[in-house]
Structure 1
Amino acid sequence: MIVFVPERSLEVFRSGYNGNRVNFTCLASEVYPAPKIMMYKENKDEFYRARVPSVQLDISKHPNGRFTVFIVSSVLAEILHPGALVHCELRIPGTGYVKIKSLLYYPQSK
């Protein structure tokens, strides 16, 4: 028997833009055991998913034994078409538990 605790929250949001790259952050909190997390993009007209390179990954353990994990990924703005979906996938190893949170990307108007 495997005991696990699903995340209290899972959030994905746009976290920055420097002129040629867009950053996205995914945050999962209060999950047990330590999860695996990844981000990928999927365009609305395509049926494949492309993993988004991560620039930062951090996991912390709370006194109650649960974990909070976040990942920051960076994508070239030129390959992010309006309407592209950016997904965050959370997995709890050994359980079959998978949760996906998505963000519909549109560039900010100037």
Structure 2
Amino acid sequence: MEAWLAGAEVRTETTNTSLVEFLIGGSAFSVPGIVLHYQQRSIRFTPIFLYGQGVTGCVEASLCTADNIQPLYRLYMRCGMRDDWTLCPAGTLSVKPDPFDEEAFFTLIASLLPG
């Protein structure tokens, strides 16, 4: 992501999120998250779960403003036969998720940047 944002006025921040993993006895542990900031808006990438629903990881991308937090997309690591990251709009289940590449990244953060 940093390479894709080179030269942009978007500031990145690393965060820590407490994740409860029920497959290992309900233990909680800290995992890194990412926040992209532009002016008064941000997009927060928050880890949701590991090893479930046929994937090895899930991260939710949400648009955060002063008034609202709106889930935008869910990113999945190693979904089905794929070995890379994929994404689906939040609140949907896709049989064939889209690859998470540079084009998908800029579609995801379009609501963060000025039109």
The normalised TM-score by structure 1 is 0.29
Structure with bigger helix share is: 2
The normalised TM-score by structure 2 is 0.28
Structure with larger RCO (C-alpha < 8 A, sep 6+): 1
